[in-house]
A and B are shown apart, each in its own frame.
Chain A
Amino acid sequence: MRRIRAAATGAVMLSLALTASACGGGSSTGGGSNDSPEELTYWASNQGAGIEIDKKVLRPELDKFEKQTGIKVKLEVVPWSDLLNRILTATTSGQGPDVLNIGNTWSASLQATGALQPWDAEQFEKIGGKDRFVDSALGSTGAAGQDPAAVPLYSMAYALYYNKQMFADAGIDGPPATWDELAAAGKKLSKDGKWGMGVEGSNPAENIHHAFVFAEQHGADFFTADGKADFTSDAAVAAVKRYVDLMAKDKVIAPGNAEYAQNQSVSDFAKGKTGMLLWQSASANLESQGMSEDAYGIAPVPVRSGTPGTGKQVNSMVAGINLAVFKNSDNLDGATEFVKFMTSDAEQKILNTAYSSIPPVKAAQEDPAFGSPADAVLKDTLATSAVALPQVPDESQFETAVGTAVKELFADAAAGREVTTGSVKAALTKAQQQMPRK
């Protein structure tokens, strides 16, 4: 009997010990170190046409880095479906990579966890100074007034892709510059089973990107200056309604788009089923679906006045990927060295070419490699008329809540239910109620 009791006590002790140690949250409190200067772990996001393809792009560059510095980089390309969860568990446990890619819209949320190394002036000096980077890209690296949580790596912007042949057939002279022109063009295109434009109605992230731009154009902010959610202002409601009305009222978007979440709208465009598409760097994708580069044109996303610019003339979010250093890294110096390498002019040119994105580094951007008409549109947008999504800690909740609200409004429109100012307001009110109150 004694042995049993001893065993039972042992089991209880063991579980208590495990609980206690796990409750401590692991070693995550400690800062980083330079205990292992020879090696780095790097989590890359999936930018190319597949994980293996990304590895082929990155491996030679990482080998170059090893040759220069003697630091070996262990690369893992993390699929998008897992990336945020992986970062969250790494944050909770303190067990993560040294350097990692993050979607730039996550910057402020991840900054709030304190898991990422802040980039103060001194830190930036080590990679050549903050002013090497384009302003708009820097605007998406963390909350205003705080040291950035990450450094821009790849930039992207939305543009209007349009099918030249379909435009010619419908007698449309050129790409629309305002939403009214877009609706008019769309109506001309929408016939014989073809449609004016495509959207990803069931993808909350896509929805939020567009809803945000429409809100900017209507002069609405989804957050107040002190970071509180404010989704239900008249301007915000009008903005979201204008976007959904492209399907509900103008009927230039096929109702079926309401359930798109797997990039079906790109396929539709590539097949000539839709005449227009708002997308970021779609070229490689369109090519893989068999649409040649001279079959479509690229123009700035419409604005209400017709001339993109600052303030109400904003026509894209600043899309892109940032590079961050994990605070628990055991090779902080090496990590900084690696960021310096990845943001160097030469590497920026190579990587952004491979991923058909725009370098956020000014010097690299001026390279003739990024001088095509398409890149010119994107560069121009990034330089003058793109704005970062709200840099607040609650950004990811905002994306989910409002993105889902727009998804449901599209579902209403697709089902033939009326989308009114009232119903938009109700949807946004519900979204706002889901935001954390603290």
Chain B
Amino acid sequence: MSPDPAMTATAPAAEAAVRKSSPGTAGGPRRRTGRSRRIGLPYLLLLPALLFELLVHLVPMVIGIVMSFKELTQFYIRDWGTAPWAGLDNYSVSVDFDAPVGEALLHSFLVTIAFTLLSVGLCWLTGTAAAVFMQDTFRGRGLLRALFLVPYALPVYAAVITWVFMFQHDNGLVNHVLHDQLGITGKPPFWLIGDNSFVALLTVSVWKGWPFAFLIVTAGLQNIPRELYEAAALDGAGMIQQIRRITLPSLRPVNQVLVLVLFLWTFNDFNTPYVLFGKTAPEAADLISVHIYQASFVTWDFGTGSAMSVLLLLFLLVVTGVYLVLTSRRRRTAP
């Protein structure tokens, strides 16, 4: 099942989102067959996907936006058709950064950005390094590759609760090693409360996330033509230079998709912080997804929770748009 070299000339679908697909690449079969009979076919093929997206993603989102303009506290959730309209109140509360609610949201937002950037960066770096190191065959490579995929295949709850277990202050493995066995720390640090909780969260997130990056980059590496390396080797380029001049540029299209997907998933990740810290995360690790969950489900204010979600959605839309435009332009200008 090795990939046919001819099959690798494709554009990522992400690009279709920002650039109209060039004429001539599509429409092959249609031009050959009866136009009148086939005109509905593409729509027919899209119909199931469209219906499910409408039902599960788009309509709920519209409802969520409607909710964000309502006063939806426990007094009204039972019949929220009659809940009073709140106008922009939920939004103004959320973005009033001088008041406690807005201030907490802003803090949580900044923590999330820092966390996401670090996590995506480390996942990508670890995944790429591992993929590059494992490009050559060596004994045990298959076994290692299998082991590396285990974190991705464990149920999230099981994986994270194991980390909780390891991060315990008194009985956990981490302090046992750092403090009791290596004696690095003067007194055992806390990982699940206080400022270190950010490190704990990051560790778990990278542990769970890097195999996905490893997988995709491994795949991407297989498509780099060997001739490129041979030519570079003839020019006298060393290992490091080969990686810099050939491997990384060739991986750019893979990375464009990978980094974006990792970014969106990490930013919206709910399961990891929720299992790690429960319903109230320590301030240093107060990710926005849990923060919104707390605002809506724990304090029963679904209006404000929805308003925060909509703000988040807008932010991600802007970031993604800018990212796609930037990365696509760079690719088009670069040969």
Asked whether any CB of A lies within 8 Å of a CB of B in the complex, the reply is yes
Q: Does A92 contact B (CB under 8 A)?
A: yes
Within 8 A of A (CB), among B185-229: 188, 190-194
The residues of B that contact A1 with a CB separation of less than 8 Å are 39
Contact B54 A259 (CB under 8 A): no
Within 8 A of B (CB), among A245-296: 254-256, 258-259, 261-262, 264
Q: Does B242 contact A (CB under 8 A)?
A: no
The residues of B that contact A113 with a CB separation of less than 8 Å are 74-75, 77-78
Please encode chain A, from 1 to 26, with 1 for each CB lying within 8 Å of some chain B CB and 0 for all others: 10110010001001100110011110
Q: Does A404 contact B (CB under 8 A)?
A: yes
Within 8 A of B (CB), among A87-124: 88, 91-92, 94, 109-110, 112-115
Contact B298 A396 (CB under 8 A): yes
Q: Does B294 contact A (CB under 8 A)?
A: yes
Q: Does A56 contact B (CB under 8 A)?
A: no
Among residues of B, the one whose C-beta sits closest to the C-beta of A90 is B78
Taken together as a complex, chains A and B put the C-alpha atoms of A29 and B47 apart, in Å, by 35
Question: Which of B233-241, B276-284, B314-322 forms contacts with chain A?
Answer: B276-284
Taken together as a complex, chains A and B put the C-alpha atoms of A254 and B190 apart, in Å, by 13
Contact A430 B100 (CB under 8 A): yes
Contact B66 A28 (CB under 8 A): no
Q: Does B264 contact A (CB under 8 A)?
A: no
Q: Does A54 contact B (CB under 8 A)?
A: no
Taken together as a complex, chains A and B put the C-alpha atoms of A27 and B73 apart, in Å, by 19
CB distance from A23 to the nearest CB of B (A): 6
Contact A258 B193 (CB under 8 A): yes
Taken together as a complex, chains A and B put the C-alpha atoms of A7 and B46 apart, in Å, by 12
Contact A404 B75 (CB under 8 A): no
Contact B283 A438 (CB under 8 A): no
Contact A23 B190 (CB under 8 A): no
The residues of B that contact A15 with a CB separation of less than 8 Å are 54, 58-59, 62
Taken together as a complex, chains A and B put the C-alpha atoms of A254 and B187 apart, in Å, by 13
Among residues of B, the one whose C-beta sits closest to the C-beta of A193 is B170
Contact B299 A397 (CB under 8 A): yes
Taken together as a complex, chains A and B put the C-alpha atoms of A438 and B86 apart, in Å, by 12
Contact A434 B101 (CB under 8 A): yes
Which 9 pairs from chain A and chain B are nearest by CB? A433-B100, A256-B170, A256-B169, A411-B193, A25-B81, A259-B192, A397-B299, A404-B280, A24-B81
Q: Does A73 contact B (CB under 8 A)?
A: no
Taken together as a complex, chains A and B put the C-alpha atoms of A404 and B170 apart, in Å, by 22
Contact A28 B78 (CB under 8 A): yes
A202 in complex: contacting residue of B55, B99, B192, CB < 8 Å? B192
Q: Does B97 contact A (CB under 8 A)?
A: no
Taken together as a complex, chains A and B put the C-alpha atoms of A145 and B93 apart, in Å, by 33
Q: Does B300 contact A (CB under 8 A)?
A: yes
Taken together as a complex, chains A and B put the C-alpha atoms of A291 and B39 apart, in Å, by 76
The residues of A that contact B59 with a CB separation of less than 8 Å are 15, 18-19, 22
Q: Does A85 contact B (CB under 8 A)?
A: yes
Contact B74 A112 (CB under 8 A): yes
The residues of A that contact B171 with a CB separation of less than 8 Å are 264
Q: Does B40 contact A (CB under 8 A)?
A: yes
Q: Does A241 contact B (CB under 8 A)?
A: no
Taken together as a complex, chains A and B put the C-alpha atoms of A415 and B71 apart, in Å, by 40
Among residues of B, the one whose C-beta sits closest to the C-beta of A416 is B187
Contact B170 A92 (CB under 8 A): no
B63 in complex: contacting residue of A22, A258, A262, A407, CB < 8 Å? A22
The residues of B that contact A109 with a CB separation of less than 8 Å are 74, 300
**Number of residues on chain B facing chain A (CB within 8 A):** 49
Among residues of A, the one whose C-beta sits closest to the C-beta of B175 is A256
Q: Does B80 contact A (CB under 8 A)?
A: yes
Contact A25 B63 (CB under 8 A): no
Contact B100 A204 (CB under 8 A): no
CB distance from A200 to the nearest CB of B (A): 11
B75 in complex: contacting residue of A94, A393, A415, CB < 8 Å? A393
Within 8 A of B (CB), among A192-243: 201-202, 204
The residues of A that contact B73 with a CB separation of less than 8 Å are 436, 438
Q: Does A400 contact B (CB under 8 A)?
A: yes
Taken together as a complex, chains A and B put the C-alpha atoms of A254 and B170 apart, in Å, by 9
Q: Does A186 contact B (CB under 8 A)?
A: no
Taken together as a complex, chains A and B put the C-alpha atoms of A433 and B299 apart, in Å, by 13
Given A15-B58, A19-B62, A259-B193, the answer on whether A396 and B280 have CB atoms closer than 8 Å is no
The residues of A that contact B50 with a CB separation of less than 8 Å are 11
The residues of A that contact B82 with a CB separation of less than 8 Å are 25
Please encode chain B, from 57 to 95, with 1 for each CB lying within 8 Å of some chain A CB and 0 for all others: 011001100100001011101111110000000000000
The residues of B that contact A14 with a CB separation of less than 8 Å are 54
Q: Does B297 contact A (CB under 8 A)?
A: yes
Within 8 A of B (CB), among A10-65: 11, 14-15, 18-19, 22-25, 28-29
Q: Which of B78, B79, B192 has the most CB of A within 10 A?
A: B78
Taken together as a complex, chains A and B put the C-alpha atoms of A152 and B98 apart, in Å, by 44
A25 in complex: contacting residue of B54, B80, B100, CB < 8 Å? B80
Contact A202 B193 (CB under 8 A): yes
Contact B170 A28 (CB under 8 A): no
Q: Which of B75, B192, B298 has the most CB of A within 10 A?
A: B298
Contact B278 A28 (CB under 8 A): no
Given A7-B43, A254-B170, A256-B170, the answer on whether A400 and B294 have CB atoms closer than 8 Å is yes
A88 in complex: contacting residue of B58, B62, B77, CB < 8 Å? B77
Return 26 A-B CB contacts under 8 Å, by A number: A3-B40, A24-B81, A25-B78, A29-B78, A88-B77, A88-B297, A92-B80, A113-B74, A113-B78, A114-B78, A201-B193, A258-B169, A259-B169, A259-B190, A259-B191, A259-B193, A393-B75, A396-B300, A397-B300, A400-B280, A400-B294, A411-B193, A414-B190, A433-B99, A434-B104, A436-B301
Please encode chain A, from 379 to 403, with 1 for each CB lying within 8 Å of some chain B CB and 0 for all others: 0000000000000010011001001
The residues of A that contact B71 with a CB separation of less than 8 Å are 438
CB distance from A412 to the nearest CB of B (A): 8
Contact B100 A434 (CB under 8 A): yes
The residues of A that contact B62 with a CB separation of less than 8 Å are 15, 19
Taken together as a complex, chains A and B put the C-alpha atoms of A336 and B101 apart, in Å, by 42
The residues of B that contact A202 with a CB separation of less than 8 Å are 192-193, 278
The residues of B that contact A433 with a CB separation of less than 8 Å are 99-101
6 additional A-B pairs beyond A18-B59, A110-B74, A415-B194, beta carbons within 8 Å, are A15-B59, A201-B193, A256-B188, A407-B280, A414-B190, A433-B100
A91 in complex: contacting residue of B78, B100, B283, B298, CB < 8 Å? B78
Q: Does B168 contact A (CB under 8 A)?
A: yes
Q: Does A408 contact B (CB under 8 A)?
A: yes
Given A259-B190, A403-B280, the answer on whether A92 and B78 have CB atoms closer than 8 Å is yes
Contact A396 B299 (CB under 8 A): yes
CB distance from B286 to the nearest CB of A (A): 10
CB distance from B141 to the nearest CB of A (A): 39
Among residues of A, the one whose C-beta sits closest to the C-beta of B93 is A437
